[in-house]
Amino acid sequence: MTTQHTNLVLIGFMGSGKSSLGRLVARELGFQFIDTDALVVERAGFDIPTIFALQGEDHFREVEKSVLQSLTHLNRCVISTGGGAVLREENRELLRQIGFVVLLTASEEVLFERVSRNKKRPLLHTQNPRETVARMLAERRPIYEAAAQCVIDTSTLTRPEAMDALLARVREAFGWEPHSPRGPEEA
Ligand code: S3P
């Protein structure tokens, strides 16, 4: 944890609330919100299910990596990453360079309930999505935990509560005041 970080990076499994919470926190801090999945879609010119279907997961991961590489110069941003962005070691290093890495977690049941609300996640287009979530979570949990500098469990929190919890951790880590119009470097 160093004061050189002026960005927040949100990692976590699909449905952990990275984008929805990220947007709220960015607004509260007066930071720009960036969603790496949206940048991948912009670069590829297709939505995520189409990228997976036409070009495959490896291609998606290559574009995802190059998106992360393009973010290392940023300041005062909240960056929400795709659930698999931490899988490559080089990406985990990039994420630490980009900012303070916060893992959002939730129980398996809550995650499954949330991801079941939309069908835009090709990795869950399986015969038994419930089992897929359980398997992927078991595989990824240690990777998420190793990549994170701070963890927030959102299972029982409303969105405003989760935002308060996140802001409290940010304040603790950096001494940032969320209502400060300035970033941590100038604060
Ligand atoms: C993925 C998560 C998705 C998206 C892609 C792959 C993953 O992002 O990047 O479908 O490997 O977990 P969200 O976590 O925003 O759903």
DSSP letters for 78-115: EEE--TTTTSSHHHHHHHHHHSEEEEEE--HHHHHHHH
What is the reported pTM? 0.92
Q: Give the architecture (CATH level 2) of 8-174.
A: 3-Layer(aba) Sandwich (3.40)
Per-residue confidence (pLDDT) for residue 173, from 0 to 100: 78
**Closest ligand 1 atom number to CA of residue 40:** 9
Nearest CA among 156, 166, 171, 181 for reference residue 24: 166
108 CA distance to ligand 1 middle (Å): 16
Per-residue confidence (pLDDT) for residue 119, from 0 to 100: 86
- Region label for 56, one of left (φ > 0), alpha (ψ between -120 and 50) or beta (otherwise): left
Cβ neighbours of residue 141 closer than 8 Å, sequence gap 6 or more: none
- Cα 115 to the center of its chain, rounded Å: 15
78 lines ligand 1 (CB under 6 A): no
37 CA distance to ligand 1 middle (Å): 7
Per-residue confidence (pLDDT) for residue 187, from 0 to 100: 42
Residue spans of the chain under pLDDT 70:
1-5, 176-187
Token pair 């495959």 is found at: 56
Nearest CA among 36, 38, 57 for reference residue 122: 57
Residue 164, classed as helix, strand or coil, is helix
Per-residue confidence (pLDDT) for residue 184, from 0 to 100: 53
**Nearest residue (CA) to ligand 1, atom 3:** 82
**Closest ligand 1 atom number to CA of residue 120:** 10
Decide if 1 contacts 139 (C-beta within 8 A). Answer: no
Domain boundaries, the chain: 8-174
22 lines ligand 1 (CB under 6 A): no
82 lines ligand 1 (CB under 6 A): yes
